A = this chain, B = another copy of it.
Amino acid sequence: MQNFEQFLLDNLPTAQSIHPTYERALQDMLKAGGKRFRPALLLGVVKAYNPLMLESANHAALAIEFLHTYSLIHDDLPAMDDSPLRRGHPTLHVSFDEVTAILAGDALNTYAFEFLSNAPFSDEIRVKLIRELASNGGLGGMVLGQAIDCYFENKPLKIEEIKILHTNKTAKLIAASLKMGALIVGREDMAEQLYDFGIKLGLLFQIQDDILDVTQSSDEAGKLTNNDEEKNSFVTILGLKTAMQEANLLADELNSEMCNFDESLSGELSPLLTKYINRHKE
């Protein structure tokens, strides 16, 4: 079985030697590393139920990574977060230019669906995967979350609103990654349970980020911390103590749900997730 990282390198998008600069831009952020967390979730579910399908599942995992990578490229644009660095590399609008960053993002967004339309599954599964990725990673999912985040940046949100924000911005794509794994192996009976688990997981990550932002030094976090005072965060809205309680509650729920998964699924997801689920307790 080819591992995901090698599969990615073997399936980088190209511009058929027509436009080398554009091709480098398309590949740059994909090759820059990253945790490949969403692919790992999808592949974990597939491995639990049908390891023989891992090779094909790499196609769906890479499609998610294409979509996730486009979103990072566009989030970093000058008009958005204006970030000079991502995954330890200069962002695309810095190493190339803004036009190239916009276009490379646009191209990777569409390419996720082209890649799925050619993936080695039945047409029925292809359509289900495309629907799942598009509905969670697009207009009524990730992009909606980003739009709420940008629009309400300097306006205080209520706790229910910030949950809607992060459910859309982060949690839905994580949830879709798990569900897509279930769809690939024909375990529709597990799809919604895994999706709900993924939504909680995504929310927990955001609460943890907000907590660590005020409790960790920049050195510990490996990035600038204490920079969210003006931002809508779970800590600014709930206070540190209540945010911590909320995180503990979610972590307990997730740990217990993970134990209740059947043995093979639990065996795949626990090693991957336990350290993340409990990281705010350290």
Residues of A within 8 A of B (CB): 13, 15-16, 18-19, 21-22, 26, 67, 70-71, 74, 77, 79-80, 97-100, 102-103, 105-111, 113-114, 116-118, 122-124, 126-127, 130-131, 134-135, 137-140, 143-144, 146-148, 150-151, 164
Contact = CB atoms under 8 A, between A and B. Distances in A.
Nearest to A26: B139
Contacts of A21: 151
A144 B114 contact: no
A139 B99 CA distance: 14
A171 to B, nearest CB: 15
* Interface core residue of A107, A111, A131, A148 (most chain B CB under 10 Å): A107
A241 B16 CA distance: 33
Contacts of A100: 147, 150-151
A143 B148 CA distance: 27
Given A131-B114, A134-B113, A139-B111, A144 B18 contact: yes
B126 A102 contact: no
B139 A13 contact: yes
Contact of A102 (B16, B74, B140): B74
